[in-house]
Amino acid sequence: MNLADQIEAIARRATARVVAASNEFSATQRRLDAACAEHRAATATADERLRGELHRESEVAETAIPRILLPADQAAASPHTPVPDESVSGE
């Protein structure tokens, strides 16, 4: 086996180990997320349950979470929006 083949074999083994570790991490993350969601559901107040229900309904409707728009959220308030030149008349 020449040097290039040895390097490729090492790289393949390392890649396989990284993929296995990544899969294990993802499985652990999903398990922890499910446990956290279960705990939150068990200890949620009425307001938190309502908020969660509204959030799920908004996801189903593919809309954003209802929130108050602050002036910075509005496009007209963006510092990158050019200011109309008031010296030019519209006539």
Whether the CB-CB separation of 65 and 58 falls below 8 Å is answered with yes
Q: Which residue would you say has higher pLDDT here, 42 or 27?
A: 27
- Model confidence pLDDT, tens digit, residues 32-61: 999 998 998 888 888 888 888 888 887 777
Q: Which residue would you say has higher pLDDT here, 24 or 73?
A: 24
Please give the model's pTM, rounded to 2 decimal places: 0.49
Q: What whole-number distance in Å separates Cα of residue 7 and Cα of residue 2?
A: 9
Paired tokens of 53 = 């229900």
- Model confidence pLDDT, tens digit, residues 28-40: 999 999 999 899 8
Neighbours of 77 (CB within 10 A): 11
Helix (H) / strand (E) element for 39: namely helix 3-43
Predicted local confidence at residue 86, as pLDDT: 61
